[in-house]
Amino acid sequence: MFTNLRAITMTSILALGVFTAPASAEDIKIGVISILEGAFAALGQDGIRGAELAVAEAGGEVAGNKIEVITMSSDASPDSAVNAARKLIEQDGVDIIVGPLSGSEGLALRDLSKSYPAVTFLNGSSAAQDTTLRDSSDNFFRFGGDGAQWMAGVGNYAHDDLGYQKVAVVAEDYSFPYTQVLGFMTEFCAAGGSVPDKFWTPIGTKDYSSVVYSIPSDVDAIFVALGGADAVNFLTQYNQAGGDKPIIGGSITIDQSILDSEGPFKKQLIGAPAGTPTVSDLDGTEWKAFTASYTEHFPDGFTAPSIFAHHYYMSAHAAVLALEEVKGDLSGDQAAFRAALSDLQFVTPTGGTMRLDENRNGIVDNFVTEVFEREDGTLGNRVVKIISDVDQSLGQDPSAFLAQGPVSRDNPSCP
Amino acid sequence: MRTAFYLLPLAMAPLFANDFWLVQILGRALSLGVIALSLTFLAAYLGVVSFAQTTMAGVAGYTVAYFGPNTVDVGYELPFYVILPLAMIMATLSGALIGLIARRSQGIYAIMITLAIAVAFFYFTRQNYSVFNGWTGFSGLRAPDIAGINLRAPVPFYLLCLGVAALSLVLVNGFIKSPLGLTIQAVRDEPKRVLAIGIPTTPVIVAAYAFAGFIAGSGGILNIWLQERISSFSVGLGPIVDILVIAVIGGLKHPIGAFIGAIAFVLLDTFAVDFIDRERFNTLIGLVLLAIIMGAPDGLHGLAKSWLSRSAKRPAKIKT
């Protein structure tokens, strides 16, 4: 049944390809999908900048073939990401898609990519685990980590260096925080720590009082995997209620905008560790060069590239490098191009070496950061540990890691 | 006769339109149009603007997802000839239930109560994992093969959408002329007089909502076959407002308005980003919608009708 659908879709794509063939012989079209509406619009815009930067650095062409970038917006919902991808493929005739931004969108595009074997999908910044770990798709590549890889090092650091034994979890109730909690708990539980309680809150929750008062009093710290306004609301309410447990942050919990906001909860964050693949003021030559190039191309962008610009850049950069290797040849359902992508190695803006595992997921370097107080009283994040070569099974045996089952509210568990 | 006049060129569309236009533009517009039709029906004949039509469509969609083939290991697979009637029954029942709750409300209060139900359903689907699979929802939903034809292949899917759309239009037009349909319109105009001649209004209102649920359900099934997935996002505030926008720009006075509005909406939604700077495309969509509402208070259908009648009058003037 499915093969039939596939055959029909394939023939229809081929039929469409006949009409668009003259244009695509010279131009290579890259479609970029990011969130350009709603609460994430400013961040999604930065993702687009990252992809455009990679193309601009290549001079907008590869081996004499002009690269055309076509952008399309989604609104964080899987449906809109799928509609955007279909429009890019069927109407604009793109060869490569870079995107999307958020976790559930990534899962939807992974499913969609199986229906379009002639198009190569390069993940943007979406970081759900199963996008590449389970049911992976031959033409879906992720030059970056998932949410669990982004937490590498934090569990061990919390247990061994900070001496925490019991940690409660407060996180948003969807795929990306699940993956982050898994990344933290895998290390923390293996090191001998326990997580007696997990609190899953709907995204956009305003009143956390029921959670604040349910946190057991005998825990050593709280792992908070909330983003943006949710993190500010929770931390403020926890502080106002007299809570004094130390905080451990997820990858998007303690960003600079939270450290710059006003409120007494800030004092509580000093010393809080977090895991992230992107440190905005990293002290490395590659990162400094990347930041300089970013600010030169986009004077109206952020002061430093965000995690989104960083990841979209890596994907688009990988596409450009692989295209250079095959001299822009995308014939034969892009077979040569994909082989080049699979074997690609390049130095990332954070100084590590990016390469893919057999599921086409990145093996990455990750940072454990810590909040510190600068001399002028403002707060910043500084790197305390670099974990190199983090793969998707977090250093475990891949088949044993898979056997633990898909990540969910209740998996993993170590009460 | 007139229906055939409109249908014929539409049925010929596969001869000259490519797959993208057939499925992503026309198919999507027709399936959204069917859902919007259920809103237009309630607005035009019961005089109630309901925000819960996406919910009724979602109930049908979730039924198909839960009992049909999916890739998330939730649900129980049944053959499609059982699923489809089941989904329609569930959608009709959900319509009846919403009608029962909202039966005493009119005007802004009906809007509020249906909106409250719709938003409650949205949060429920997002929080419940055993039936609705929460945030992630269902993916890998495939339309069935019938007699070797996959219903999701471009041409069959488009013709299916066209057939369902035409059928629901015919159904609505027939229903409003039936005794029950006439009673619904009587309840809209003079509920007290309907009561005075001994007809209880509650069953009539509930029947109208149930019928709307039936129509919305058929659109909902088409929509998830098109998307091949459903999640809490599909029944969230965005799609709820989209359906309202479609119905309003098309015109709430006549059922065909829902489809005119849907085509206009899908074209805008798909191509606005090509016409204008990508940061501003929502502004363009908003401005066009605003212009339609200001320039054509009765929607695009009303506008077209007044143009047609004007151009029909002009030759008559020359004669005199």
Mean pLDDT lowest for which of A60-74, B146-160, B162-176, B287-301?
Answer: B287-301
Q: Tell me what pLDDT residue A272 has.
A: 93
Place B260 in a pLDDT band, splitting at 50, 70 and 90. very high
Task: Compute the distance between CA of residue B238 and CA of residue B236 in angstroms, rounded to an integer.
Answer: 6
- CA A297 to chain B, closest CA, distance in angstroms equals 18
- CA A379 to chain B, closest CA, distance in angstroms equals 32
Q: Tell me what pLDDT residue A77 has.
A: 84
Residue type, B246: I
Q: Tell me what pLDDT residue B279 has.
A: 65
Mean pLDDT lowest for which of A8-17, A124-133, B4-13, B223-232?
Answer: A8-17
In this structure, are residues B196 and B83 in contact, taking their beta carbons and an 8 Å threshold? no
Mean pLDDT lowest for which of A18-22, A393-397, B99-103, B271-275?
Answer: A18-22
- Determine the CATH number of domain A2-144+283-360: 3.40.50.2300
Q: Tell me what pLDDT residue A347 has.
A: 93
Angle formed by the axes of helices B201-227 and B154-175, nearest 10°? 170
pLDDT exceeds 70 at position A39 = yes
The residue to which tokens 């190039």 are assigned: A293
Mutation pick from A1, A2, A33, A90 vs chain B, by most beta carbons of B within 10 Å, is A90
Contacts of B18 in chain A (CB under 8 A): 16, 19, 90
pLDDT exceeds 90 at position A57 = yes
Contacts of A5 in chain B (CB under 8 A): 142, 150, 152-153
Instruction: Over range B31-46, report the average pLDDT.
Output: 96
Contacts of B153 in chain A (CB under 8 A): 5, 8-9, 12
In this structure, are residues A334 and A353 in contact, taking their beta carbons and an 8 Å threshold? no
Task: Compute the distance between CA of residue B294 and CA of residue B285 in angstroms, rounded to an integer.
Answer: 14
Contacts of A80 in chain B (CB under 8 A): 233
Q: What's the token pair of residue A297?
A: 């191309």
Which phi-psi region, left, alpha or beta, contains residue A160 (left: φ > 0; alpha: ψ -120 to 50)?
alpha
Backbone angles phi and psi of B50, in degrees to 5: -105, 130
Average pLDDT over chain B, rounded to an integer:
90
pLDDT exceeds 80 at position B1 = no
- CA A200 to chain B, closest CA, distance in angstroms equals 10
pLDDT exceeds 50 at position B75 = yes
Place A209 in a pLDDT band, splitting at 50, 70 and 90. very high
Task: Compute the distance between CA of residue B47 and CA of residue B103 in angstroms, rounded to an integer.
Answer: 12
Place A198 in a pLDDT band, splitting at 50, 70 and 90. very high
Which tops the pLDDT comparison, B56 or A17? B56
Contacts of A114 in chain B (CB under 8 A): none
Indicate where chain A has its CATH 3.40.50.2300 domain(s).
Answer: 2-144+283-360, 149-276+365-403
Q: What's the token pair of residue B213?
A: 């649920």
Q: Tell me what pLDDT residue A378 has.
A: 84
Spatial neighbors of B112 by CB under 8 A, at least 6 apart, are: B105
Q: Tell me what pLDDT residue A342 has.
A: 94
Q: Tell me what pLDDT residue B37 has.
A: 97
Q: Tell me what pLDDT residue A85 has.
A: 94
Q: Tell me what pLDDT residue B3 has.
A: 64
Which among A4, A76, A79 has CB closest to B229? A79
Q: Tell me what pLDDT residue A10 has.
A: 45
- CA B64 to chain A, closest CA, distance in angstroms equals 17
Q: Which residue of B has its CA nearest to A13?
A: B19
Three-class DSSP labels, chain B: CHHHHHHHHHHCHHHHCCHHHHHHHHHHHHHHHHHHHHHHHHHHHHCCCCCCHHHHHHHHHHHHHHHCCCCCCCCCCCCHHHHHHHHHHHHHHHHHHHHHHHCCCCHHHHHHHHHHHHHHHHHHHHHCCCCCCCCCCEECCCCCEECCEECCCHHHHHHHHHHHHHHHHHHHHHHCCCHHHHHHHHHHHCHHHHHHCCCCHHHHHHHHHHHHHHHHHHHHHHHHHHHCEECHHHHCHHHHHHHHHHHHHHCCCCCCHHHHHHHHHHHHHHHHHHHCCCCCHHHHHHHHHHHHHHHCCCHHHHHHHHHHHHHHHHHHHHHC
Spatial neighbors of B314 by CB under 8 A, at least 6 apart, are: none
Q: How distant, in Å, are the alpha carbons of A143, A144, A308, A361 from that of A55?
A: 16, 18, 16, 22
Mean pLDDT lowest for which of A22-26, A119-123, B290-294?
Answer: A22-26
Place B113 in a pLDDT band, splitting at 50, 70 and 90. very high
Which tops the pLDDT comparison, B96 or A244? B96
Place B259 in a pLDDT band, splitting at 50, 70 and 90. very high
Interface residue ranges in chain A relative to chain B, Cβ cutoff 8 Å:
1-2, 4-5, 8-9, 12, 15-16, 19, 36-37, 41, 45, 48, 71-73, 75-80, 82-83, 86-87, 90-91, 104, 107-108, 111, 135, 173-175, 202, 408-409
Place B319 in a pLDDT band, splitting at 50, 70 and 90. very low
Place A205 in a pLDDT band, splitting at 50, 70 and 90. confident
Q: Tell me what pLDDT residue A202 has.
A: 84
Chain centroid to Cα B5, Å, comes to 23
Task: Compute the distance between CA of residue A73 and CA of residue A84 in angstroms, rounded to an integer.
Answer: 7
Mean pLDDT lowest for which of A130-134, A227-231, B158-162, B236-240?
Answer: A227-231
Q: Which residue of B has its CA nearest to A3?
A: B150
pLDDT exceeds 60 at position A3 = no
Task: Compute the distance between CA of residue B234 and CA of residue B242 in angstroms, rounded to an integer.
Answer: 11
Contacts of A15 in chain B (CB under 8 A): 19
Average pLDDT over chain A, rounded to an integer:
88
Portion of chain B with pLDDT greater than 70, in percent: 95
Place A26 in a pLDDT band, splitting at 50, 70 and 90. low
Q: What digits encode the pLDDT tens for the residues B17-32?
A: 888 899 999 999 999 9
Place A361 in a pLDDT band, splitting at 50, 70 and 90. very high
pLDDT exceeds 50 at position B16 = yes
* Closest residue by Cα to residue B250 from B200, B293, B282: B293
Portion of chain A with pLDDT greater than 90, in percent: 59
Task: Compute the distance between CA of residue A298 and CA of residue A305 in angstroms, rounded to an integer.
Answer: 10
Mutation pick from A19, A40, A52, A79 vs chain B, by most beta carbons of B within 10 Å, is A79
Instruction: Over range B182-189, report the average pLDDT.
Output: 95
In this structure, are residues B282 and B270 in contact, taking their beta carbons and an 8 Å threshold? no
Mean pLDDT lowest for which of A4-8, A13-17, B139-143, B255-259?
Answer: A13-17
- Assembly ipTM: 0.79
In 3-state terms, what secondary structure has residue A195?
coil
Q: What digits encode the pLDDT tens for the residues A11-22?
A: 444 444 334 434
Q: What's the token pair of residue A132?
A: 């590449």
Mean pLDDT lowest for which of A222-231, A384-393, B180-189, B276-285?
Answer: B276-285
The residue to which tokens 């939730």 are assigned: B74
Task: Compute the distance between CA of residue A126 and CA of residue A128 in angstroms, rounded to an integer.
Answer: 6
Q: Tell me what pLDDT residue B18 has.
A: 85
CATH number for A149-276+365-403 (one of 3.40.640.10, 3.40.50.300, 2.40.30.200, 3.40.50.2300): it is 3.40.50.2300
Peptide bond into A398 cis (omega under 30): no
The residue to which tokens 């689907």 are assigned: B125
Contacts of B125 in chain A (CB under 8 A): none
* Closest residue by Cα to residue B48 from B118, B121, B108: B108
In this structure, are residues A60 and A313 in contact, taking their beta carbons and an 8 Å threshold? no
| Structural domain boundaries in chain B | 2-250
In this structure, are residues B253 and A102 in contact, taking their beta carbons and an 8 Å threshold? no
Interface residue ranges in chain B relative to chain A, Cβ cutoff 8 Å:
18-20, 24, 71, 123, 126-127, 129, 134-137, 139-140, 142, 145, 150, 152-154, 227-229, 231, 233-234, 236, 238, 270, 273, 278-279, 281-282
In this structure, are residues B121 and B58 in contact, taking their beta carbons and an 8 Å threshold? yes
Q: Tell me what pLDDT residue A94 has.
A: 94
Place A163 in a pLDDT band, splitting at 50, 70 and 90. very high
Q: Which residue of A has its CA nearest to B73?
A: A406
Strand partners, B296: none
pLDDT exceeds 60 at position A58 = yes
Q: What digits encode the pLDDT tens for the residues A214-240?
A: 999 999 999 999 987 888 899 999 999
Portion of chain A with pLDDT greater than 70, in percent: 94
Which tops the pLDDT comparison, B285 or B89? B89
pLDDT exceeds 50 at position B178 = yes
Strand partners, B206: none
Helix runs in A191-306, H state only: 209-212, 228-240, 256-260, 265-269, 285-297
The residue to which tokens 């370097």 are assigned: A365
Instruction: Over range B266-275, report the average pLDDT.
Output: 84
Contacts of B229 in chain A (CB under 8 A): 78-79, 82, 108, 111
Backbone angles phi and psi of A340, in degrees to 5: -65, -40
Instruction: Over range A63-80, report the average pLDDT.
Output: 89
DSSP A39: G
Task: Compute the distance between CA of residue A342 and CA of residue A354 in angstroms, rounded to an integer.
Answer: 11
Contacts of B139 in chain A (CB under 8 A): 78, 107-108, 111
Q: What digits encode the pLDDT tens for the residues A274-305?
A: 999 998 888 889 999 999 999 999 998 888 88
Q: Tell me what pLDDT residue A377 has.
A: 82
